[in-house]
């Protein structure tokens, strides 16, 4: 079971994307837990994650979050995928990152 952490300004704006990602993961047979949090919680929630994704509105925190979560893939969610709430595209990227 993979742990996917999404970070945004308050942990709220990514909730719809989380729902769509869960559905896409289920359809793909990819077992994972996906949750959204405020970016301020990165050190505590990202420490044991398999992948950490930043919402486009907090992508300026990328280097800081990478430092806080050493050895864990951290990247910004594709803006087009985020804007379209394309859970399938985002979960596909997660699967590439964890080599499933």
pLDDT value at position 99? 84
Distance CA 57, CA 26 (A): 27
Mean pLDDT of 92-99: 94
Q: Judge: domain 2-98, CATH 3.40.50.2300.
A: yes
pTM (2 d.p.): 0.94
Q: Which residues are catalytically annotated?
A: 8
pLDDT value at position 11? 65
Residues 6+ apart with CB under 8 A from 13: 55, 57
pLDDT in tens, 29-83: 999 999 999 999 999 999 999 999 999 999 999 999 999 999 999 999 999 999 9
């Amino acid at each position: 079971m993979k742990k996917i952490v999404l970070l945004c300004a308050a942990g709220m704006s990514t909730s719809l994307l989380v729902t769509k990602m869960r559905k896409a993961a289920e359809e793909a047979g990819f077992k994972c837990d996906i949750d959204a949090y405020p970016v301020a919680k990165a050190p505590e929630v990202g420490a044991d994650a398999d992948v950490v994704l930043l919402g486009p509105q907090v992508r300026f925190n990328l280097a800081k979050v990478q430092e806080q979560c050493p050895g864990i893939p951290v990247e910004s969610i594709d803006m087009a995928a985020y804007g379209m709430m394309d859970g399938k595209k985002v979960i596909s990227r997660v699967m590439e990152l964890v080599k499933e």
